[in-house]
Structure 1
Amino acid sequence: MGTKSVLPVIKEEAEIGGQLTRREIVRRLLAAAGAGTAWPLVAASHPIHELFRNEAVLEEAENLAAADWRPLVLNAQQDETLSALAERIVPGSTKAQVNRFIDLLLSVDTAEHKQKFAESLAAFEAGSQKRFGKRFPSLDASQQNMLLTDASAYPAKEDSSGSAGRENRGLHKDFEDLKGWISGAYYSSEMGMRELGWTPDRVFASFPGCEHPEGHS
């Protein structure tokens, strides 16, 4: 989390209708990254960066709002867990259809990355069951925040109950991996770009930190 900052303009380019496609947004973000700008909450080594260079996937992303959308990789339970995690980590993710875009990206990713993603979702489900006896999507907001806050903390930190928190230390890497996917998907949407200060005639040279008071960083 951070405070809002004024972003320096590096380019002016009006868009017809004041809207951007996902491909155009990613093109601008990649250009900013090439100029040395870090993406919000996404580690430079995260696999999502390479996937953003896949033009065919970005074209397909324009169809994610279809009423008959079905996941290509995730099963129904995984999609539900991802949606709940995404909304809690970056509020607004549901409206930005973060879960759908991540599923699309995973469909062209490596088997190794797909497996890691599935394992991270499963780890949060297991942690939720162990601590609260329920799946993560079934937890109330305070329980979800408690689990995510402990998982986002440095691995050696005790959990909020005061115990050693071995399972939460194990969730830290899973949290960082999922946060990268979720943040990358959200801030490459028009909704995310507008939150960062984008307007149709401006592109910025740097990004502020997370401004969601209830989000996790």
Structure 2
Amino acid sequence: PEHRLPRRLHLVTDFPPLQLGGMAQLLKWLDEFKETRLVIIDTLGRILPSAKANSNQFTDDYQFIGKLQKLAIDRGFALLLIHHIRKEGAEYALDRVAGTTGITGAADSVWVLDIGKPPANAILHVTGRDIETQEIAMKFDGGIWSILGEARDVLISEERRTIIELLAREGPLYPKDIGNHLGKACEATRYLLFAMKKDSQVV
């Protein structure tokens, strides 16, 4: 069957940088469509101003994102900026975002979509001022994203899951007793329990 785009969805494929007429064009569009509730810009890099000589890039990024944030608040719509992540890994999701911390510092919330492992295609890291920090396991199938659950629950190994279920059923146990149940050496069980404690899976 033929799929039609929703009537209220507007797609723009040619848009100038904000400082080169893009902001005026966006304001004109918002004036025409006053019921707008969501604006998605893909990608942020296409509208970022060019770096100025002898300028502070952090300050420039922070002020630029701040202006967009104020516009969204004043006009009452949600603004989603699509941006790239760094290729190299980082301990914290926010450190994966390309560019300076002025970009993430000015945003109300930051979502980082990172590579996952089976059964999850990706992990969505969510953090922000007024939202709970989360790591969500995601699956991509047939062009559609779906939520599998909290990453820590979805990606847990069968062995760890067995330990958690055993402790929930039996109550506190010594590593030796847990090892006997798993058929695992006591020292190896201690190491696994230490790793689980580090991941806040046991106390």
Asked if Structure 1 and Structure 2 have the same fold, meaning a TM-score greater than 0.5 normalized by the shorter chain, the answer is no
TM-score (norm 1): 0.24
Higher helix share: 1
Higher strand share: 2
Q: Which has the higher contact order (CA 8 A, sep 6+)?
A: 1
Larger C-alpha radius of gyration, 1 or 2? Answer: 2
TM-score (norm 2): 0.25
